[in-house]
Amino acid sequence: MEKWFFELQEPGVKLGIEYEDKLLEVQTKYQKLEIYKTKRLGNLMVLDGCVMTTDEDEFFYHEMISHPSLYTHPNPEKVLIIGGGDGGTLREVLKHPVVKEAHLCEIDGEVIEAAKKYFPNLSISFKDPRTSIFVEDGFAFLDRQKEYYDVILVDSTDPVGEAAKLYEESFFKKIYNSLKSDGIFTIQAENYFYELSVMKSLYNNVKSIFNKAYFYFSPVITYPSGNWSFLMGTKKYHPIKDSDFNKYQIKTKYYNRNIHYASFALPEIVKGIVK
């Protein structure tokens, strides 16, 4: 008998993934967490009914939220990840030999524990000696870290519920204050097919705090529309003019020099919201 997980991604649009077994279902303090063993995509993590990551396509998202900022900043020694409890973004950050400290601040400790058990290829990053994990709210955490980080990556869920405040102007002000004078931050920014209005609001909030803000894009197979957006805010550097691929090479499945440059090309529909 076939068993399917369905995510209602938009009214009238569902994603269906056939699975062999449900490995975990728990209501944490913050959200409903489910893990499935699928037939095609390996293990699947679902939060509040929405796909977060799968074994097979996770590299698109985790590489692209991480490396553009780390190759743009000339010396990203201290990096903070807000969210990212599955460990995938942390894994990519730690591929950069220049990183000396990688802090992960995740509000839901049960996500971290589930990743350790069901996503060993992601959670291997938790064992790195450069890693420090903080299970707490990102707002309060940032208040204690002033002008400390070179790069901050916001690897959050969609801007609803507890995560909604991570898309507000007040949050970006906290990020700005926690970055050094030449710091960079990146946040996942939804998709322009279904969520153009969310992207516009996000851009305006970031641009009101940071000197410069740049959208860039990547495929993520299981996310709504299959095309995902990220927004980089910088105090100083330009992601094309200042990126440096000569300092070292890392191993990736999707990201490379040419992908970096091409990902910042704006579709016409997005140009209209950044003018």
Distances (CA, A) of 208 to 103, 158, 180, 203: 26, 21, 18, 8
Residue in the block written with tokens 């590489």: 63
For residues 84 and 153, the answer to whether their CB atoms sit within 8 Å is: yes
Active site positions, annotated? 155
For residues 23 and 37, the answer to whether their CB atoms sit within 8 Å is: yes
- Side-chain-side CA neighbours of residue 2 (13 Å): 6
